[in-house]
Structure 1
Amino acid sequence: MRAVIYARYSSKNQDKKSIKDQVILCQIEAEKQNDEIVAVFFDEAKSGLSDDREAYQQMLNFVKKNNIKKIYTYHTSRISRDTAEIKLRVRELKYIYGVNIIFVSQGISTEQENIELLLSANGIADEQYVESIRKNTWRGLYGRLQQGKAVFAPKFGYKLKDGELYVDEKEAEIVKEIFSLYISGKGFKEIAKILNQRGILSPRGSKWSLTAVREIIINEIYKGVIVWNKYQYRKIPGFPKRKKIPNPPEQWIRIERPDLQIVSKEIWEEANRKRLERQKQDNTKNRVGYTTLLGGFIKCQCGSNLIKHSKVSFKCRQALVGACDITASFREDMLNALVIHAIKQHLIENRQLFKEELEHQLKVLYSKQKTKSDIEKEIESLNRKLQSFLEIFEENPSKTIAKKIQEYEEQISLLELELKSFKEIEGVEIDDEVIDILLEQIDNVLSMDVSQAREIIKNLLEEVRIEKDKIEGFYWIEYSFKNPFRTYNRKINMVAGEGFEPSTSGL
């Protein structure tokens, strides 16, 4: 029988020979079973807590596409160290694709009737192993903290030397200025703009954003207190990567580090008192959703939103802090007119397509959400799966497989009855006035309540993107339309703050 091998080791500190040893042991077992190994897959320095492993995913795709019936691996932990995750994977491979997994070192395979119990028993051991590593790692990091060593990348204002944090005097002066500006009444956005105008690089080595400024203000390290253990990372079954989970405040660990203090505790407290006051004032404005027709739909070529900059214009959010080259303002009435015109053209040009698509949708609706072809395809798919299980049952009869075969047979019988009683809905036709209704709504959006108008727009418009042209002062405006029933893009040329020009060849 054709088979594959999967091997893995977790840490960069482990010996790469581990892969070779796992493969050799799997090959020996495959030879005993007279199986032919047609491919070997392995991941290096990849955790068993994540499904996001390149070779592992390649192996799964290869097995499914090439009708492979066996996977050899050294241990259950090579597939996953999470019991729920490995059971999900085993069930999918065994019951849907008819693939048997042999765990060589443990002498078990998914063909055994008590495999669920065996997986649970081995899974508990794997999970306890992972938990012990997590606790040992936590204790090790905590010990480093107690010794004054760093357990995280240095924040802005600090440098790392021989595993220890120390204050970077040059950056510390910038931190002090940020706190001073904030206390004097400047907002995050204004401070970011000031720093960018002076060419000062952010903690990431790029331009400052209001978020980067905010992180400086709220981090307690600047008053000489390291706060640790605010989060933990856990593998959640069904998710490819570990999730960041907040720990309750009583589990946070605070370590006083006066040597790392850049601003006084009084200054830090004053800045954060003002931050909470401003936050409270913003919340009392009771702003619900967007107050403009196109807020949230318009993007700059840098990826940031265009936001209302004045009573009459929009501007790139990043440009407001000097972090984007598109510094022009775009009149709101101009953008509204452009978008409304483009949506109307989209509806008119695709009128017949929308009509035909809507007729198809109605036809599907009246035939119980399925076409005859849909039912036939479903029966064909179930028959393939049934045949696969019948082949497995011939080699390895079991109650579980027999039950699955019965389920498939019952589903196929029901679908065949549905197919016999199926009545094709012919002649479903609609008047294309549905497009006229949409056009009429679009004509009236500017006179509607903003929330009502946005509901109409959001069903038709995906995104509006502004891009700078090679010619100074000219910009491209690109539209991505949603349904009614089809997505399509269009681009036109415009002049910021003035209006728009027709598309010009070569621009």
Structure 2
Amino acid sequence: MTVAIYCRLSEEDRNKQTETDDSGSIQNQKSMLIAYAMEQGWDIYHIYSDDDYTGADRKRPEFNHLLEDAQRRKFDIILCKTQSRFTRELELVEKYIHGLFPVWGIRFVSIVDNADTANKGNKKSRQINGLVNEWYLEDMSENIRSVLVNRRKNGFHIGAFSLYGYKKDPEQKGHLLIDEEAAAVVREVFVLFSQGYGKTAIARMLNDRGIPNPTEYKRLHGLRYQQPKRKNSTLWKYFAIADMLTNEMYIGNMIQGKYGSVSYKTKQNRPRPKEEWYKVEGTHEPVIDMELWNKVQSMIAQRAKPFEVGTIGLFARKARCANCGYMMRSSKNRGKHYLQCPNRHVAKDACIGSFISVDKLEQTILAELNRLAAEYLDKDELERNIELCDDLQEQRSRISAAIAVYEKKIAEYTKGIRDLYMDKVRGILSENDFVEYSKSFTDEKERLEHMVADSRRQVSEMDQKMETGDNRRQFIERYTNLEHLNREIVETLIDYISIGKRIPGTKNVPIEIHWNF
């Protein structure tokens, strides 16, 4: 028998000497698991080790490497110190330990809590371990959240990155100090705007002088920063200037909580309403005095273009520069509307400067739409219907298989609740334990029942589509022989449009249309 050993650093035990060393906790786990494997006479295939990762992190590199090798059946057994070292999520316990591992012929063993899939009698204990670990994650998340909320409400800075113009106070946690070198740039931006310079013009002036933008400044000074995702990330942009000019942090107010996590199970964040932000005034020394701040805010309000309900650019949030990927901005000159890349003015070599008139883009899209419609409608409709039905049939089969899995798990949870009740009757479980465990089982059972209902609804919709045939013909016919586009049509038909720079010597602009159908 070959065994794969998996180790993970405990959140409660971090004591690494250097960044490249395994922690003492990891070394202890390895020693324990190697000794146990040798006692059992198992051959060690590989030791998978994740250091500085939580049990709820699904992106652990060695964890995913382990799962890939398990699916390829490169070993017979997975050995861990405890089940929680493998995962703290009940969902993954059910998916892998009780679901896929038996299918792949993989035995799961954890030493301390005696979890062993070869012993069918302790499946209930493994499920209870999963529940306890899930509760631990949720409780820990709530505890951390409450502490952070309390500190934010009291005006302490929470976060890995300090705002450009400030630095973290080494003597007082949660307090910000002015970073004079960066603050000088912030003051210059406010002064230039107050003197009448536009945001793009200010960005170009900073770029021409070689002043690094906030991200590049932090990188050059060895400060923590968020890795940029776009090209030309070292340049100042319009939006960086715009955000700076309205950020109250620069007048000494602590503004936090603009984004909130979706769930304790994911690192994804989403914007929060402004009324839910945490704002505490006068928590740190201001970079901008109130007289200059008020003048700038007044000018921003005066420059703001009035927004009329129902008026929005025809290609707003749809047209992208083919070179740098930024959304193109609209402009107007002599009564004609144009789209241009916002990076073409921020620096000399920032971007090739994609540019096109709205009229030309509209005519190009109409011509392409009519060409596609003609080509599509000339095809044999019966053949297309058969192809569509085959595709839907495949999707239907997958969903039906998923329903079968859900129903099997529902039956398991039903049996688990019944077994828990019998344990309570026999005195093995206390009344409180029974209530806690059975509630979690019942909640999971209800969740799966909802999934079954949703899946059955999808199957019903697919059956109806296969009966009525391909409706794409009607979809295309609705948008043929058009003379003009409107915003509704653009939203319905187009995902996004990639626009390049005009080909020298011609009037042709490279356009790539990504349709929604």
Q: Using structure 2 for the length normalisation, give the TM-score.
A: 0.64
Q: Which residue of 2 aligns with 1:304?
A: 326
Query: Matches of 2:327 and 2:159 in 1, distance apart?
Result: 35
Counterpart pick for 2:500 among 454, 467, 471: 467
Judge conservation of contact 2:83–2:129 (CA < 8 Å) in 1: no
SS in 1 for 2:112: coil
Deviation at 1:153, TM superposition (A): 3.7
Q: Which residue of 1 aligns with 2:490?
A: 454
Q: Which residue of 2 aligns with 1:492?
A: none
Query: Matches of 2:470 and 2:262 in 1, distance apart?
Result: 51
Query: Matches of 1:469 and 1:351 in 2, distance apart?
Result: 32
In 2 relative to 1, CA 277–341 (structure 1 residues): closer, same or farther, beyond 3 Å? same
Counterpart pick for 1:155 among 155, 160, 163: 163
Is 1:174 matched up with 2:197? no
Deviation at 1:9, TM superposition (A): 1.6
In 2 relative to 1, CA 104–470 (structure 1 residues): closer, same or farther, beyond 3 Å? farther
Deviation at 1:103, TM superposition (A): 2.9
The size of the alignment, in residue pairs, is: 431
SS in 2 for 1:256: coil
Structure 1 residue identity aligned to 2:317 = G
Structure 2 residue identity aligned to 1:335 = L
Query: Matches of 1:43 and 1:380 in 2, distance apart?
Result: 34
**Identical residues among aligned pairs (%):** 18
SS in 2 for 1:443: coil
Greater shift in the superposed pair: 204-213 or 7-16: 7-16
Which aligned pairs between 1:117-196 and structure 2 lie closer than 5 A?
Answer: 117-124=128-135, 153-158=161-166, 167-169=178-180, 171-183=182-194, 188-196=199-207
Deviations 1:348-392 (A, max 9, x none): 556666846632256469xxx537x965x8899999x89x99xxx
SS in 1 for 2:510: strand
Structure 1 residue identity aligned to 2:48 = F
In 2 relative to 1, CA 131–80 (structure 1 residues): closer, same or farther, beyond 3 Å? farther
Query: Matches of 1:36 and 1:235 in 2, distance apart?
Result: 43
Query: Matches of 1:253 and 1:278 in 2, distance apart?
Result: 28
Judge conservation of contact 2:203–2:236 (CA < 8 Å) in 1: yes
Which aligned pairs between 1:37-186 and structure 2 lie closer than 5 A?
Answer: 37-66=44-73, 70-81=77-88, 86-99=89-102, 101-109=108-116, 111-124=122-135, 153-158=161-166, 167-169=178-180, 171-183=182-194
SS in 2 for 1:40: strand
Query: Matches of 1:277 and 1:137 in 2, distance apart?
Result: 38
In 2 relative to 1, CA 150–481 (structure 1 residues): closer, same or farther, beyond 3 Å? closer
Deviation at 1:238, TM superposition (A): 5.4
Deviation at 1:303, TM superposition (A): 0.2
Deviation at 1:37, TM superposition (A): 4.4
Q: Which residue of 1 aligns with 2:6?
A: 6
Q: Which residue of 1 aligns with 2:343?
A: 318
Is 1:339 matched up with 2:365? yes
Structure 2 residue identity aligned to 1:230 = G
In 2 relative to 1, CA 142–28 (structure 1 residues): closer, same or farther, beyond 3 Å? farther
Structure 1 residue identity aligned to 2:309 = N
Query: Matches of 1:234 and 1:464 in 2, distance apart?
Result: 31
Is 1:219 matched up with 2:227? no
Q: Which residue of 2 aligns with 1:20?
A: 27
Judge conservation of contact 1:69–1:98 (CA < 8 Å) in 2: no
Judge conservation of contact 1:298–1:466 (CA < 8 Å) in 2: yes
Deviations 1:117-156 (A, max 9, x none): 333335545665676677889999999x98xx99754433
Query: Matches of 2:361 and 2:150 in 1, distance apart?
Result: 57
Judge conservation of contact 1:344–1:439 (CA < 8 Å) in 2: no
Query: Matches of 1:483 and 1:220 in 2, distance apart?
Result: 40
Judge conservation of contact 1:319–1:326 (CA < 8 Å) in 2: yes
RMSD value, Cα: 5.1
Judge conservation of contact 1:190–1:321 (CA < 8 Å) in 2: yes
Q: Which residue of 1 aligns with 2:212?
A: 201
SS in 1 for 2:340: strand
Deviations 1:96-118 (A, max 9, x none): 31445433223344643233333
Query: Matches of 2:516 and 2:136 in 1, distance apart?
Result: 52
In 2 relative to 1, CA 274–249 (structure 1 residues): closer, same or farther, beyond 3 Å? farther
Structure 1 residue identity aligned to 2:325 = G
Judge conservation of contact 1:221–1:227 (CA < 8 Å) in 2: yes
Structure 2 residue identity aligned to 1:444 = L
Judge conservation of contact 1:230–1:251 (CA < 8 Å) in 2: yes
Which aligned pairs between 1:212-251 and structure 2 lie closer than 5 A?
Answer: 212-223=240-251, 225=252, 227=254, 230=257, 236=263, 239=266, 241=267, 243=269
Is 1:444 matched up with 2:460? no
Structure 2 residue identity aligned to 1:454 = V
SS in 2 for 1:6: strand
Q: Which residue of 2 aligns with 1:493?
A: none
Structure 1 residue identity aligned to 2:33 = C
Deviation at 1:92, TM superposition (A): 0.8
Deviation at 1:212, TM superposition (A): 0.9
SS in 1 for 2:214: coil
